[in-house]
């Protein structure tokens, strides 16, 4: 498949100009572009500039507010609910994460549920905001219903990712960032482009049968919760996805389950919403609210070092620490640029033509 | 397999007497017995009275302190670290959860990391303490290393369970309580008793190969993180287990990873501890620190009702809500008693003889 290479700076600048064309204030456009391209840098191609035209179409359909008045609508010393006013999740999420961090500075931890938001890019970018404050960061979000609970043929949950980011000392931080399904939707998109089958256990047909067709979701199929089948613990993946949905949306007053509005403009949002927009949930915990930071970091280094040096299965690579693959991608892509597949380049070129901009 | 039926009261009373014989104060013995038998009631047989003789042997080996001075050693408005002084986890955990609840009353949420503890029974029992206060409860714990991270042949993690308990209105609460492995160790014990093979994807051999032998762990094999293999997301299960380990032990100053002391008296604890005992982590979040409790509960009822009424795969049961299976077991066992397999009855009879007590 033909690929073209772009620098992160070029993609960030291009995205920033698109967000400006949508009417975002300067600071919001810059932030949104940085958050978006952080996904491409970290190798999560499905959540980066590949989504840019999708945000534009939702804005054109009046389903994204480019000048939101984001505000705290409820709070306690360690909690808040933020209303994103229909703004870009890429902007609403950093606002909410900052609130969590400020709360943690004062009382040890901060927990913020968000309603009336939109797709926030990668969870990792937001959770990692805590690291520079010597805090543990958490981020989760609900998403368009694509996942069938155990026994269900209906799609009632999104891929609902969770990220936990934990600072270390000499070692890089621990950053676990993953969808609560067996495979993220982005992995299906890759198979579709390569014309390859999916492994069994990723998807089911509209009747709930086994399928290896990566296009199955277009025919009413569904993604399967982490675990793949009951014998291998898919009820646990269902628990995880549900937990994320409830923290993100029932706590905040957003839409949950099958009521979550789709991220694509060609599908209408449900006519009977149970809340506002989609929901997120963020947390920040000051390490020194538990034990001295130096002590904690020394033990994190020991934890990481011990896992890295584990004896491994013959023929397999070393034990990785959560965050390693994304960090490696970022190192490479900062130096050598970000490869985009032809379809995404075409998509960006169409945006460039429409808004009289130059790509790359 | 022969089974005998006992009432919950009889097992609780028997356990209480055993804990008294160990030297526990009256209140601690009562509490520990209630927590222990709650596992049998909820159908988690591996964590109930089947473990009673194990606690006794650890106490005999001077590895459990029956008269601990449990105390808060560090705190902030929304956090605390509790030192369990080597006490029974069955007693240390409720102490810590109470601290989390008191913190949440004052500042919205409370988060407590625990060190120098021991096996705490089922996570669900502790997390559910939050429900009667209209709070969301969380509980997690690390455990003896039986699980190999992805690529590793070494066992570096425990089955490290997580519980999230969320109150509802008319509906019963949402209680997700699960090990972060593909299968909990208790499931292997059942297969061992029945002389049956395990499904592929639960366990690996000491060289990291595939195995269906439920005795494989005795030969240096390991449990596999939730996901079963890389293609089906076992790196996510590894992330979950690691997260639990770090929150429970690196935040608190307990032993983590391969340093977690084993729960069996015939295996010595590591000679080079990195902390004290095992670790737990608890959370309590006041619902009304986010939105009015009635509103939240009405939406939880709607969430639960919608999931319960999902269209299902032909030939399969209804969509269950996390907590349903344990609740059903509890209903049955409160009425009809708790069935114990012969081996467990023998074990309890030996304890009865040793301590001059009567069982049942």
At residue B79 the predicted structure's pLDDT band, cuts being 50, 70 and 90, is very high
Report the alpha-carbon distance of residue B75 to residue B110 in Å, rounded.
Answer: 10
Reading the block at residue B203, the tokens are: 């366990």
Q: Answer for the pair A102, A133: CB distance below 8 angstroms, yes or no.
A: no
**Burial bucket for residue A213 (CB in 10 Å: 0-12, 13-18, 19+):** middle
The whole-angstrom separation of Cα A234 and Cα A274 is: 27
3-state secondary structure (DSSP) of residue A25:
coil
* Mutual angle of helices B8-21 and B26-41, in 10-degree steps: 140
**Residue B347: pLDDT above 70?**
yes
**B346: Cβ–Cβ under 8 A, 6 or more apart, which residues?**
none
Look at residue B185 in the predicted model and tell me its pLDDT: 87
* Summary mean pLDDT of chain B: 97
Give chain B's end-to-end CA distance (angstroms, integer).
20
Give the Cα separation of B291 and B298 in Å (integer): 12
Quickly count: other Cβ atoms within 10 Å of residue B315's Cβ: 7
* Nearest CB to A322 within list B239, B287, B313: B239
Choose among B89, B112, B86, B110: nearest CA to B35: B89
Closest CA to A322 of A45, A182, A127, A187: A127
User: Sign of torsion, CA A256 A262 A263 A268?
Assistant: negative
Q: Of A215-219, A267-271, B4-8, B186-190, where does mean pLDDT reach its minimum?
A: B186-190
- Shortest Cα distance from B193 to chain A (angstroms)? 18
Q: How far apart are CA B129 and CA B169, in angstroms?
A: 16
Residue A1 above 70 pLDDT? no
**Residue-wise pLDDT tens digits, B246-263:** 999 999 999 999 999 999
Residue A150 has pLDDT above 70, yes or no: yes
* SS3 (DSSP) at B42: coil
Q: Which residues of A touch B286 (CB under 8 A)?
A: 76, 79
Q: Is A259 helix (H, G, I), strand (E, B) or coil?
A: helix
Percent of chain A scoring above 90 in pLDDT: 96
CA distance A274 to A257: 10
The two tokens of residue B41 are 């009631």
Per CB-CB distance under 8 Å, the chain A contacts of B290 are 74, 79, 81, 113, 251-252
Average pLDDT, chain A: 97
Over residues B119-139, the mean pLDDT reads 98
CB A244 within 8 A of CB A142: yes
Across A335-356, average pLDDT: 96
- pLDDT tens profile A37-62: 999 999 999 999 999 999 999 999 99
Alpha helix (H) ranges present in A83-205?
A: 89-107, 123-127, 185-194
List Cβ neighbours of A113 (8 Å cut-off, separation of 6 or more).
A79, A80, A81, A82, A247, A248, A251, A252, A279, A280, A281, B290
What pLDDT, on the 0 to 100 scale, is given for residue A271?
96
Tokens representing residue A306 in the block: 């011990």
B189-231 pLDDT tens trace: 889 988 999 999 999 999 999 999 999 999 999 999 999 999 9
Structure tokens, B216: 């494989």
How do beta strands A338-341 and A3-6 pair? antiparallel
Residue B51: CB atoms within 10 Å? 20
Q: pLDDT tier at A317 (50, 70, 90 boundaries)? A: very high
Among A198, A191, A178, A149, CA closest to B231: A198
Mean pLDDT of B152-164: 98
Which chain A residues are within 8 Å of B182, Cβ to Cβ? 227, 232-233
Strand order in the sheet with B162-166: B71-76, B79-83, B109-117, B278-286, B135-141, B162-166, B174-178
A307, B166: Cβ pair inside 8 Å? no
Q: Which residue of B has its CA nearest to A152?
A: B312
Whether pLDDT at A300 is above 70: yes
Give the domains, in start order, of chain A with CATH numbers: 1-66+326-360 (1.10.1530.10), 68-179+232-322 (3.30.1370.60), 183-223 (3.30.60.50)
C-alpha B113: how far from chain center? 15
Mean pLDDT of A334-357: 96
State the average pLDDT over residues B10-17. Answer: 98
Chain B partners within 8 Å of A287 (Cβ): 251
Q: Tell me the per-residue pLDDT of B46-77, one tens digit each, with 9 for 90 and over.
A: 999 999 999 999 999 999 999 999 999 999 99
Classify residue B292 by its DSSP letter: -
Q: Which of A107, A210, A295, A316 is the best residue to mutate to test the B interface, defined by the most B CB atoms within 10 Å of its own CB?
A: A107
pLDDT range class, residue A194, cuts 50, 70, 90 = confident
pLDDT of residue B360: 76
pLDDT of residue B294: 98
What number is the ipTM of this complex?
A: 0.98
**For residue A150, what are the contacts with CB-CB under 8 A and spacing of at least 6?**
A225, A230, A234, A235, A238, B319, B320
As a whole number of angstroms, the longest Cα–Cα distance in chain B is 56
The Cα of B84 is separated from the nearest Cα of chain A by a number of Å equal to 15
Report which of B135, B119, B138 is spatially closest to residue B127, judged by C-alpha positions.
B138
In this prediction, residue B1 carries a pLDDT of 60
Contacts of range A83-87, beta carbons closer than 8 Å, 24 or more positions apart: A83/A114, A83/A115, A83/A116, A83/A276, A84/A114, A84/A115, A84/A116, A84/A117, A84/A118, A84/A277, A85/A116, A86/A116, A86/A117, A86/A118, A86/A276, A86/A277, A87/A28, A87/A117, A87/A118
Write the CA distances from B153 to B3, B61, B186, B275, integer angstroms. 37, 30, 21, 24
Q: Which residues of A touch B256 (CB under 8 A)?
A: 299, 303
Chain A residue numbers with beta carbons less than 8 Å from the beta carbon of B149 are 307, 310, 319
Q: With H, G, I as helix, E, B as strand and everything else as coil, classify residue B185.
A: helix
Q: How many CB atoms lie within 10 A of CB B257?
A: 25
Nearest to B250 among A111, A154, A299 (CB): A299
Over residues B102-127, mean pLDDT: 98
Number of H helices and number of E strands within chain A?
10, 12
The helix-helix angle for A324-336 and A26-41 (nearest 10°) equals 110
d(CA B281, CA B140): 5
Tokens of B15: 């356990």
Backbone angles phi, psi at A279, to 5 degrees: -125, 150
pLDDT above 90 (res A189): no
Q: How far is CA B360 from CA B9, B348, B349, in A?
A: 9, 10, 10
Element (H, E) at B304: helix B293-308
Looking at the complex, report in whole angstroms how far the Cα of residue B243 sits from the nearest Cα belonging to chain A.
7
Residue A149 pLDDT exceeds 80 = yes
Shortest Cα–Cα distance, A182 to chain B (Å): 5
Q: What is the pLDDT of residues A55-88, one digit of tens each?
A: 999 999 999 999 999 999 999 999 999 999 999 9
pLDDT of res. A118? 95
């Amino acid at each position: 498949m033909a690929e073209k290479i772009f620098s992160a700076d070029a993609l960030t600048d291009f995205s920033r100009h698109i967000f400006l064309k949508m009417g975002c204030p300067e600071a919001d456009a810059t932030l949104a572009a940085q958050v978006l391209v952080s996904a491409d840098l970290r190798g999560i191609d499905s959540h980066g500039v590949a989504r840019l035209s999708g945000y534009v179409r939702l804005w054109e359909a009046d389903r994204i507010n480019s000048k939101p008045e984001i505000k705290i609508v409820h709070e306690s010393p360690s909690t808040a609910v933020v209303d994103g006013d229909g703004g870009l999740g890429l902007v609403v999420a950093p606002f909410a994460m900052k609130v969590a961090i400020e709360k943690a500075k004062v009382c040890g931890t901060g927990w913020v549920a968000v309603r009336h938001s939109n797709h926030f890019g990668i969870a990792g970018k937001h959770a990692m905001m805590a690291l520079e404050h010597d805090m543990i960061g958490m981020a989760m979000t609900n998403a368009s219903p694509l996942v069938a609970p155990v026994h269900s043929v209906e799609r009632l949950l999104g891929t609902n990712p969770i990220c936990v980011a934990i600072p270390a000392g000499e070692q890089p931080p621990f950053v676990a960032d993953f969808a609560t399904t067996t495979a993220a939707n982005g992995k299906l998109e890759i198979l579709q482009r390569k014309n390859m089958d999916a492994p069994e256990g990723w998807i089911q047909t509209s009747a709930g049968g086994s399928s290896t067709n990566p296009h199955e979701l277009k025919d009413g199929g569904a993604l399967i919760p982490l675990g793949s089948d009951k014998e291998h613990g898919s009820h646990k993946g269902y628990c995880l996805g549900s937990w994320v949905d409830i923290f993100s949306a029932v706590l905040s007053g957003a839409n949950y389950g099958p009521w979550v509005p789709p991220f694509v403009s060609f599908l209408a949002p449900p006519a009977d919403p149970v809340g506002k927009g989609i929901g997120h949930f963020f947390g920040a915990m000051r390490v020194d609210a538990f034990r001295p930071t130096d002590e904690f970091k020394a033990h994190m280094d020991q934890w990481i070092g011990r896992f890295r040096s584990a004896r491994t299965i013959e023929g397999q690579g070393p034990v990785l620490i959560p965050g390693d693959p994304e960090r490696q991608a970022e190192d490479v892509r900062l130096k050598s640029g970000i490869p985009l597949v032809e379809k995404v380049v075409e998509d960006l070129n169409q945006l460039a033509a429409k808004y009289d901009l130059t790509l790359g």
